[in-house]
Copies of this chain bind each other. A is one copy, B any other.
Amino acid sequence: MFRLDKRLQGDTLYLGRFPLCQALMMNDSRYPWVILVPCRNDIREYYHLSQQERAQLMEESAWVAEKMSDFFEAKSMNVAALGNVVAQLHVHHIARYDDDPAWPGPVWGHSPAVPFSEAEKAERVEALQDLFSSHFIDESSLHDDSDDTVYW
C-alpha cells in the first residue's frame, strides 16, 4: 500500500492518478503548482526508481508541464525534485510569470503560501482535473503494494 507523506498530504489537494504518479495541487493561490508523486514507497531520489519507472515519470512530468504551460500561458515552467524538507520523491511543476511574487527567483522559501478560498479551490481543482483527465486512470484497478516497490 502506497503511503503519501503526511506533509505533502496537508499542503495539497488530490487531483487524480496517472499510471505511475499521484497528481496533487499545491494549496497556494499565487502560482499554478502541481506535484507528481510516484506511488512507490521508500523512494527519495530519481535513481531509486527503476529505469522503466524513470522513463514513465519523465513522460508524465513532461506532459503535465506542457499542459500547464499552454493552459496557464506560462513564461516558463519550473520542474524540480528537491527533497530538503519532504524526503519522499515528489516533483514540482510550477507555471511562472515575470510578474509573479518570486520572479525570477524560486518560489520555495520565498514567502508563506496564500491558500485558495473554498470557491477558488474547487474551481482550480476542477480546471486541473479537466486538463489532465485524458491521462488519469482508475486507481482502484492498481495494486501499489510492496511487490511493486523498488528498494535500494
Query: Which residues of chain A have a CB within 8 Å of any CB of chain B?
Result: 44-47, 49, 51, 54-55, 57-59, 61-63, 65-66, 69, 75-85, 87, 96, 103-106, 108-109
In whole Å, how far is A84's beta carbon from the nearest beta carbon of chain B? 4
Q: Which residue of B lies closest to A105 (CB)?
A: B109
B84–A63 touching, CB < 8 Å? no
Q: Which residues of B contact A77 (CB under 8 A)?
A: 45, 81, 83
Q: Can you show 9 pairs from A to B with CB atoms below 8 A apart?
A: A45-B69, A46-B58, A55-B58, A76-B82, A78-B83, A84-B105, A106-B106, A106-B108, A106-B109
Q: Which residues of B contact A54 (CB under 8 A)?
A: 55, 58-59, 62
Q: Which residues of B contact A109 (CB under 8 A)?
A: 104-106
